[in-house]
Structure formats: structure tokens, C-alpha cells
Structure 1
Amino acid sequence: MVVKQHTKTWTGGDFTISTRSEEDSSVLETLFTVDGEVASFSQRRHVRDASGLPIFEIRRKRAGVTWFVHLPGDSDSEDAKPLATIAPRLHPLKDKFDVHFKNASANGEDTVLEVRGQDIWKYRTNVYHNGTLVMVAKLTDMVSVYLPIKRPKWDLEVAEGFDLSLASTIGIILAALLYQSMMHSRSAPSPGGNDPGEGSSGKQ
């Protein structure tokens, strides 16, 4: 998968998420598009499928660092429960956050994915489930990080059966946090471990 942030947008929250064609890996086929809202305190992103149909929204807690994934139109309702919660973990340099959701394929079991940056340049980020590597995100053009006229791009490698919309959500959050230090979220503490920065498998 390829997550490409658009160069000429007011919000910096617009993306195209594509998969590589099986016949020709140089050909990209659009999977999702993402539209960010101008002057949104919650940095809301609307995610649509290739036909333009809205499928979910991603927004940040207005007075905090936690992100939430909601069905379209549910994010403004106080009663609506999020599909997923993205809880950043304190780290001054590397990406570090946990993704909490109920796994429909496992009878609604509470599931945690641990997203862990592997270097201070944010070139590579690993995603773990119960200690097993299930996804790798790589920043493909380091120069674009330092040039305001360009927008970065990520390659996502996912394990077989891994949900592509979930992988896309992680890619979008990585883009949102590219220039930020990781602050600690208390909205969704990781189960297990005495260190609030550890997830269920203790990945740092």
C-alpha cells in the first residue's frame, strides 16, 4: 500500500491511499481518499472508498492528544462509541502509540496494536499484535520532510489478512504526527505492564 499526502492542500490532511497493481507494481490503484477539514481544531479527516462513499472519520480529541475513529456523522455525538481509539505514548523523538479496537473477526474481543517507531528520523515504524509484527510503514522520501513544497509518502507492508482500512488509519496518523513529539494519552491505557508506555506485549 502507498499513502501519499497531497502537496497542494490548505489542510495538509488530504491523502490518496493506493495499492500496487498485481500486473504492474508501478501502477497504483486508488483504495481510499482522505479529505481534511480547513481550520478544524480536531483535525478531522473524512475517509472515502474509491467510489467516493464515506466509510469513516478520524479526529483528534480537541483538548488532548488522543485520536478516534467514528462512523460517518457519529463523531459529533457524545453517545457514539468510536470504532477505534489511537492513544499516543510519551516519547520525545520516536513515533509511539497504541490502537485499541474490538476485533469483529474474534467475537468482538478487545484488541491492541502497538505502533513503534524504529528510529528518530521516523523512517521505519513497526506495528505489533501480541508481539508479532503485522505491519511495517516506511517513509519513502526523506527529502520531502524538509521541503515545504513537497509532501511525504509512506509504503505500508501488511501481513496477510490485516485490515487495509486499519492500516490506512495508522498511515494517516503517522502523517499527522510526523513533526510532533509523542505526548502521553490517558484515554486508553494499555493492558499489562507497569510502564504506561508499554503495550500488551511490552514493546517499547
Structure 2
Amino acid sequence: MYTEDNTSVNKAVKALSQPVGIRPEHIAEEETLLYLKPKYDHRSPNEYTIKRYWDDSTVFTVTGHKYGDTPAREFRDSSGLPMFQSREAVLAWKRPLRVRLPGKQDEELVDFRVDMKKVYRLTFRNSMEPDSKSESERMATVEVRESGTYAWQGFSASIGGQKVVDVRESMTMNKTLPKCTSQGDVSLMPRQVLEILVAEGFDLSLAALIAVYMADTRFSTAPPPRC
């Protein structure tokens, strides 16, 4: 399903023996390739659409809005129902993102942190663990690290050293993006389409959260001119 290119970066993910996620209805039933497509207009209310690669069906949409002066996002499923919200944190150097359920601003759904080595850690209550387990036993942590090359940026997410998500620029789709029409005019430059490879047993909505954060912060919204 996942087409290899001529780079040496290992993009493979491995199926989980036990499912992991925050949304049981979005656990991947098989290895799944998604793609994240940003709107050219960064002010668009539906700024990102996340689709399945093989049939182009919409899985999630991500809307942009603000909490006061703070940028925020709302993640919705294919029916349009909100799943969770994310917004930038005040202490962004340590906790760059707050992830919460709609209407529950005092309850963290995902504890999102980053260390001095730029390793992102997402800690959450694994909804797939049985209720018989203690609260501490139900907690899971995903670590996200840079995994690309100098010429091609990418990130991988792992649980206990097992890779479950791979996020990177789409070599195929980005080649077909319109070229800029005015030299040096960054407003005319298309934003990057990202591919998201998700392992069987991992939550697609968590993979979407990781990909959107990386699209917002680590992938340029104004790539080098293609003119």
C-alpha cells in the first residue's frame, strides 16, 4: 500500500499486538496510509483535510479558530462531529499544546510535552485497556522524533520503541502542486501535502493530531520557490 521511493529512510511501521488510542472508533484495523492536505488560504476555516490515500475518502477535518488571541484547532470526524480541540500553550517551550475535549477546558485529554532534544511526548489514558486495570496501567506514551533527511523532512512516532506512525512530505502530491507565479511572493506558494502512515492497532485521530502539529510548526507553510 505504501509506495517506496529512492530514499534510504525507513518508513515501515509495525502492527501493535494491543490497540492503543483515545478514540476506539478510530483505531486502524489495518496499516493505513492517509494524507493531510492544507488549504492554500491559511485563513480558511477548514484549514486541513485528512483523507485515505487509496480511495480519497475524508477521515477528519481540522478547523481553525482562536481562544482570545491564541490560535486553536478543532478536530472533527468525517460526519462533522467534534472529537477534541488543541491550542497553543503559554509555556510553549515545555508544553507546546493543550489537547482537550470540547467544553472541558480544565481536563487534559493528551499531555503534550517536548524536551530540550526536541523529542515530543504524548501521554494519555489508553481507551483500549480494560477497565479492570489500574489508572497507571492504562496510561500510554507516544514519542515523536525527527526521522527525515536534509533534503526531505519527516517524523516518526513510537510506543516502547515500536514505530507506529510515519509523517513526511508527499513526494508524489507535492510535485503536482501549482507553481508560484510571482518570484519571491510567498503568499502564492502552496503549502506541503503530508503522508501519514499508521500502524494497525493505532488511533488514526492521534496520528492526525501529530501530523497537524508538525504541519503547523515544523513543515514550512511557504516552501522554497518552485518557479
Task: Could you tell me which runs of 5 or more consecutive residues in structure 1 were left unpaired when the two chains were aligned.
Answer: 181-204
- Structural mapping, 1:57-68, within 5 Å: 57-65=85-93, 66=95, 67-68=97-98
The number of aligned residues is 167
| Equivalent position amino acid for 1:49 in 2 | D
Q: What's 2:123 paired with?
A: 100
Q: What's 1:82 paired with?
A: 108
Q: Identity percentage over the alignment?
A: 25
Q: 2:122–2:142: 8 Å Cα contact kept in structure 1?
A: yes
Point out the structure with max Rg over C-alpha: 2
CA distance in 1, matches of 2:115, 2:198: 23
- Structural mapping, 1:114-153, within 5 Å: 114-119=143-148, 120=150, 123-141=153-171, 148=187, 149-153=189-193
Q: CA RMSD in A?
A: 2.7
Among residues 70, 94, 98, which one is paired with 1:42 in the alignment? 70
Which structure's relative contact order is higher, taking Cα pairs within 8 Å and 6+ residues apart?
2
Q: 2:46–2:61: 8 Å Cα contact kept in structure 1?
A: no
The alpha-carbon distance between structure 1 residues 112 and 122, as it changes in their structure 2 partners (threshold 3 A), is farther
Determine helix, strand or coil for the equivalent of 1:69: strand
Displacement of 1:96 in angstroms is 3.0
Scaled by the length of structure 1, what TM-score is found? 0.71
* Per-residue Cα deviation, 1:30-76 (whole angstroms, up to 9, x for no partner): 0111111158643210111112111110112134342121111223x
Q: 1:122–1:178: 8 Å Cα contact kept in structure 2?
A: no
The alpha-carbon distance between structure 1 residues 172 and 121, as it changes in their structure 2 partners (threshold 3 A), is farther
Q: What's 2:22 paired with?
A: none
- Runs of 4+ in structure 1 displaced over 6 angstroms? none
Q: 2:50–2:58: 8 Å Cα contact kept in structure 1?
A: yes
The alpha-carbon distance between structure 1 residues 8 and 32, as it changes in their structure 2 partners (threshold 3 A), is same
| Equivalent position amino acid for 1:140 in 2 | S
Determine helix, strand or coil for the equivalent of 2:213: helix
| Equivalent position amino acid for 2:123 in 1 | H
